Amino acid sequence: MASLSDSVKLPCGLVFPNRLVKAAMAEMLAGFQNIPTPSLINVYDQWAKGDWGAVLTGNVQVDVNHLGNPFDVALSGEYTDAETNKDLFEKYRKYAEVSQAHGTPTIAQLCHPGRQSPRPAGRRGVFASTIAPSPLPLDMGDGFVQRWLGWFAFPPPREMTQADIDTVTRQFVDAARLMADAGFSGIELHGAHGYLIDQFLNPKSNVRTDAYGGSAANRAKFVLDILQQTRAVVPSHFCIGIKFNSADHTSSSFEDTMTQIGLLADAGIDFIEISGGSYEDPKMFTAGQQQPQPEKSARTAAREAFFLEFAAAVRTRYPSLILMLTGGFRSRAGAHYALSQNACDLVGIGRPAAIDPHFSKLLLDDSIEESEAQLKLNKIPLPFWAKMIPLAAIGAGAESTYYTGQIQRIAKGLKTIVPL
């Protein structure tokens, strides 16, 4: 059976020294200038010492006008080259240097939130619209309170014009060139969790009738254009991966989903990270809590991976793809189980890495008994007022905020707090 300590070579030639990847999480440490700050770099200095196979950064937004939260790292304008944009280049060079100081490849996650950009997040103004493939607002629920809170938090989007699409495509490519010039080992396009790329891929949020809508292939055109144009401007050894949503896809759209994955594979994607959920249905935080999977094995480890069945289906269709599975892993046993099912090549670890930045060492150390190679994390209790609001995103937000707080404690050199 595959071992967690095995190295993994990507199609571009980049080698991950083991199979454990620190997954992307929101740090909220970029300040009001939305730049890599000393506090942010302090956190990555700790993760760099954790013996991870790779480290994925939190969101690097490609447009400072559209952020997932007010303190995301983001590009504030066009990037030309290291000489023209010296200050910008130097900030990211330091970020990449510290993150990889101990030999761990670091992959920058590039994102545009589209219609999931909250009103206070970004420099477009609180009353300005967001952008999306189609002018469909977020559906936070049918009740009056849910609809009002959805409108209050997220302005209705306007449909992107061809000029908008061309601009955002260029922003992704600019950001990728900056990451390559700065020394990062690669990028991951955020095509999950309901963000803009996912909005184009998903027929629920993309009802366009032009070249970007309709068929599965047309809905994939936006991300495929980004991928193709990025490949043309970065070194051949520079990794390009994608985070891909599984939770939005039903049995009726399964073939469309597999078609899109096949198009990404044909386009030369280096790896696909399987995740899931969106602000409307935050399975990336709650899959194991709201809808526990029926026990399919005597081993509790079988229930750790939220999206294992989908990953296994992708593996069957596209056996040569490098797959990363993220969501729910807490133990060596759980990671071993996913590998034993041939569902993935890489195991993404999120929240445990926010509590222990060196968690990978625990899982890789064979001298530690399997029963001890784990980190138990209880559900974050909601404040009393939150329990009165029928909105799934409230619970997901509480989970995310708690672990972001732990990341910020790491940045300050403080001891993290395990939720009890």
| Residue 189 main-chain phi, psi, to 5 deg | -80, 125
In order of 67, 194, 249, 326, the CA distances from 142 in angstroms are: 26, 19, 21, 30
CB 218 within 8 A of CB 263: no
pLDDT of residue 393: 53
Tokens at residue 327, please?
């969501």
Helix (H) / strand (E) element for 188: namely strand 186-191
Q: What is the sign of the dihedral through the CA atoms of 256, 259, 265 and 268? A: negative
Name the nearest CA neighbour of 32 among 6, 70, 89.
70
CB atoms within 10 A of CB 369: 8
* Distance (Å, whole) CA 54 – CA 20: 7
Q: How much is the pLDDT for 248?
A: 58
Task: Give the SS3 label for residue 256.
Answer: helix
Q: Which two tokens stand for residue 313?
A: 């289906």
Q: Apex CA 271: angle with CA 105 and CA 359, to 5°?
A: 45
Residue type (1 letter), 327:
G
The H or E element containing residue 241 is strand 239-245
Question: What is the pTM assigned to this prediction?
Answer: 0.91
3-state secondary structure of 28: coil
Following DSSP, what letter does each residue of 141-171 receive, concatenated?
-SSHHHHHHHHHHSPPPEEPPHHHHHHHHHH
The Cα–Cα gap between 189 and 179 comes to 12
Q: CA 351, 357, 360, 363 torsion: positive or negative?
A: negative
The helices-and-strands tally (H runs, E runs) of the chain is: 14, 13
Rounded Cα gap, residues 338 and 333, in angstroms:
9
Q: How far apart are CA 70 and CA 86, in angstroms?
A: 24
Q: In this predicted structure, what is the pLDDT of residue 309?
A: 87
Query: What is the SS3 assignment for 86?
Result: helix
Tens place of pLDDT per residue across the chain (420 aa): 789 999 999 999 999 999 999 999 999 999 999 999 999 999 999 999 999 999 999 999 999 999 999 999 999 999 999 999 999 999 999 999 999 999 999 999 999 999 999 999 999 999 999 999 999 998 867 776 677 777 778 899 999 999 999 999 999 999 999 999 999 999 999 999 999 999 999 999 999 999 999 999 999 999 999 999 999 999 999 999 999 988 555 666 889 999 999 999 999 999 999 987 666 555 554 444 433 333 434 344 444 656 888 899 999 999 999 999 998 899 999 999 999 999 999 999 999 999 999 999 999 999 999 999 999 999 887 665 555 555 555 555 678 889 999 999 999 999 999 987
Fold classification of 8-411 (topology level):
TIM Barrel (3.20.20)
What angle (nearest 5°) sits at the alpha carbon of residue 115, between those of residues 113 and 120? 80
Length of the chain counted residue by residue? 420
Map out the domains of the chain as residue ranges: 8-411
Q: What is the rounded distance in angstroms from the CA atom of residue 242 to the CA atom of residue 324?
A: 10
Q: Is residue 350 within 8 Å of 360, Cβ to Cβ?
A: no
Among positive and negative, which fits the CA dihedral 32, 38, 41, 42? negative
CA distance 312 to 292: 18
Read off the tokens for 316: 């069957």
Q: Are 416 and 356 in contact (CB under 8 A)?
A: yes
Three-state SS annotation for 228-294:
HHHHCCCCCCCEEEEEEECCCCCHHHHHHHHHHHHHHHHCCCCEEEEECCCCCCCHHHHHHHHCCCC
